[in-house]
A and B are shown apart, each in its own frame.
Chain A
Amino acid sequence: MIEHIAAIVVMLPIISSVFVMLIRNNSINWLISTTASLITSIASIMMYLQISKNGNISYAMGGWEPPVGIEYRIDEFNALFIILISIASFLILLYARHSLNSELKENKISTFYSMYLLCLGGLIGILSTGDAFNAFVFLEISSLATYILISMGSDRRALLSAYQYLIMGTIGATLYVIGVGLIFVLTGSLNLHDISIRIQELELYRPLYASLAFITVGIALKVALFPLHAWLPNAYAYAPSVGTAFLSSTATKVAIYLLIKYLFLVYGYDVVYSNKIFVFVIIGLSILAMFGASLIAIFQSNLKKLFAYSSVAQIGYITLGIGLANYNGLIGSTVHIINHSIIKAAIFLAIGCIVFKTKISDTHELTGLGKKMPVIAILLTISSLSLIGIPGTVGFISKWYLIIGALEQGWWLVVLSLAISSLLALIYVGRIIELMWFHQPEDALIVNSKSLPVEMLAITFILTLATVYFGIDTRLTAGLAEIAVQNVLLGGQ
């Protein structure tokens, strides 16, 4: 069974989503989906151990050997992300039951679980596949599931944001397919590993750069790289709390992985980074994201939208590391993908707890929350602080690597903007902390008497603890990221 693990990790969530669709009982469906994601998490950890022992896995789907057939190719880099995605979705599913019961209509919950698992399967599919077109299919599977997840939000504006995301996401995916089509015409192959070899022999560079541009812009729409981020704040703000936590900790991260994979493993460093315009654009947009999105976040009044804009800013940090493209910069990116997904899961789950108790959506309604719900307020404060990058939290670790990476390149302006944008994060996070702790509660703040379910509190606590723990003990995050960058992205040099 162990040799089929690459197929099982992808197929298990998809198959379970089908069974969930068939069985229309909410509690049983919750049990099925949680078990499925737990097994997926365990299998992904086993897969990582397998790789570190025996080297990369190459799994030929249907027995058709690559490059003809579809190949699932697992190395230390994507195995790390598969672990991250599956564990994050397992924890969020554990949390989900009561939160969904309070936010969704009874008859929609089964569909929610089904789409959640389908999205998870699609995301793991993007991570594992070694085929350019297969990646597109999985991208669309996960996106279609995502549109439905978003449109289920209790606010009617959820429909508008789902529609907006559908248009943007489809344009992004179509641009990606155009890029893949150009590569296919140039090289005659769709296997990413095979393409990376054939690209070396090409003499025509213009169509190659055109395909690079199409693929980068297409994926950047999915990544929500500033200024292509317009869909993200609305989608995050109006989706159900569980859906927001899931999307923010997985969907954009997988898209970033795909971008890194194309830049480093398909086109290769020499093709991409010999083009100075590309480096200039990606660094420029990252810095714009760090500043622009943070500035917008400062003036946001909607709580979830504020953290959604902060997500756009944080994505800027990740793409900055990709633009730096040296050892420390790439580690910074990889670690920040992991760290940001932990932080945002913790924050949005804490907000889910607050919504469960109070139904608030605006920041000013948080006034005096520290007195009414002290535990959740403490957890939200800690996880928001790690968003700024206070030493001792995970945010500090990734920014440290990014700053070292920028110093190695000698780009002082980048270092300076990293520091200043952290101050901007301090402003919007500080505003929330101030509202929660240094004001008397308003009469308008009604906390209902429903007691917060234990698992919701426990999961939020575990994730918040993780933001502190991985800020001190970095063996599991930065350590594994170092191995991944060393062995895969830089080819063992």
Chain B
Amino acid sequence: MRLDILLRISSKIFIPFIVIFAFYVQFHGDYGPGGGFQAGVIFTSAIILYTIIFGSTKALKDFPEWIFHLMIPLGVIIFAGTGFLSIINGFNFLDYDALAHYPKHGQHIGIISIEIGVFVTVIGSMVSIFYAFVNRGKK
């Protein structure tokens, strides 16, 4: 009988809430406090908790490393793509007014897509850093 049953059960309960909280911070970030960076870090903490409780072998199988390596450039592309979309529409780089008919809607869409870019990159880089340190001792 393994002794860490309490830890495993409680983290199984906690992890979904951590993820939901991350998304709350993410999508609440355009009008309230929050945003992609904080949300990404909260999301990463869920994965770190998972790795600590269930071991790195299982975590690496469930969340393979290449996904996170891919997420780093993907987020930057989302961010910069939004910027270049503004240029194509004839506005300045990252001017969100360009993204919709009404400037206010444009601002809304712009900040959300930027925050998603930040969210993706932050998760990617934070988990990559964590995995890099976790995997080091094994070789």
The chain A residues found within 8 Å of chain B, CB to CB, are 1, 4, 7-8, 11, 14-15, 18-19, 21-22, 59-63
Contacts and interface: CB of A to CB of B under 8 A. Distances in A.
B77 A63 contact: no
Contacts of A7: 83, 87, 92-93
Given A7-B87, A11-B80, A11-B83, A18 B95 contact: no
Nearest to B110: A62
Nearest to B95: A63
A419 B73 CA distance: 51
**Interface hub of A7, A8, A62 (most chain B Cβ within 10 A):** A62
B72 interface: yes
A22 B70 contact: yes
Given A11-B83, A14-B80, A62 B73 contact: no
**Interface hub of B80, B94, B96 (most chain A Cβ within 10 A):** B94
A18 B94 contact: no
Main secondary structure of the interface of B (DSSP, over half): helix
20 contacts: A1-B87, A4-B92, A7-B83, A7-B92, A11-B93, A14-B76, A15-B76, A18-B77, A19-B73, A22-B70, A22-B73, A59-B92, A61-B92, A61-B93, A61-B94, A62-B95, A63-B92, A63-B94, A63-B95, A63-B97
Interface in B93-116: 93-97
Interface in B71-97: 72-73, 76-77, 80, 83-84, 87, 91-97
B contact residues, range: 10 to 19
Contacts of A4: 87, 92-93
B3 to A, nearest CB: 41
A132 B113 CA distance: 27
A38 B30 CA distance: 38
Given A18-B73, A19-B73, A21-B72, A63 B91 contact: yes
A436 B15 CA distance: 67
B107 to A, nearest CB: 10
Nearest to B80: A15
A60 B94 CA distance: 10
Given A11-B83, A21-B72, A22-B70, A62 B92 contact: yes
A18 B93 contact: no
